[in-house]
Chain A
Amino acid sequence: MENTSPEYAPAVEVPTSREEMDGLLDDLSLERDKTVRNSIHNRQAAVEALQNAGANGDAEHIADILPKVDEQLATKEAFRNNMEVAETQEKGLFRRAYETIKAHPYLTAAAIIAIVTAGVAGSIYLAGGVGAIAAAVEKAAAYVGLEHLYGAGEVAGGAAKAAESLGEAVRTIPGGIPDYVSGPGMENFL
């Protein structure tokens, strides 16, 4: 059954696509700077508009991250365009990559972490802000040796529950929990 409690039913959600971002800005009568990417005018107006739209305590957080979301939507579009070109040269890239991940429990666990974290992120950030999301990811990642990816910190509130459930699940990974890993980009997380 769908959870319809207030904390799981946000009136304003973080946009997941360019269309949603444009729709949100239109709904809130906000403008995106046409010449300077990622600049959304008048933060206070954005906060007030978001409050009026029902974002309540999350209005400031959403207003603050909208420019960053806008930037990442542009990155996502670039990635999809790049992949369309790559797929013309080699078909089935996503599917082949995913079948390989599925064939390896450790890699599957990493994918599950991503999906579960994204799945609960909306409700977690309402309860505890973006820091709680990061903490949930970190806690969950620790169970499969990926915590260096997400940094160190404490887990709090609803994030802990989500991460503990995930932790119970990944503890049963065949072959046990692997050693910590490192790789390019990791210096940002250490």
Chain B
Amino acid sequence: MQINAKASRENLPELLLFIEQACNRYQISKPICLNLRLAVEEACVNIIEHGYADLQTGMIEIAFQFRDNQVIITIIDFGREFDPTTYPPPDRSSEWDQRPVGGLGVFLISQLMDEVRYTSNPEQGNRLELIKKTE
């Protein structure tokens, strides 16, 4: 299953609904579906707000595959390169008044997925793969 949409906040509901519909089609359990939805939301928001920031808004393509008890979600964009696998982990230990308000989205992706892969080149764009086992 695949969806293409303009990378904008207005299209975020459609992109997330696609994930829910794909989970329903493949009978993915609700807890895993919620994790997948969350990871995709975080990835898409980063693309919308940072990947295409100050650039002409481009497209997001999301492909959903399910095989061998494994979900593979591939998210492709042509905005600025941003490899979430190299992003430093956020501060999660300082006191409440020192704790930064942002920076958790990328971390949640890495924690909720079993594997995250990222490649980038001018011809094929930025390709983020989110892999989650269902058993």
Q: Do A and B come from one complex?
A: no
Chain A residues with CB under 8 Å of chain B are: none
Residue positions of B touching A, CB distance < 8 A: none
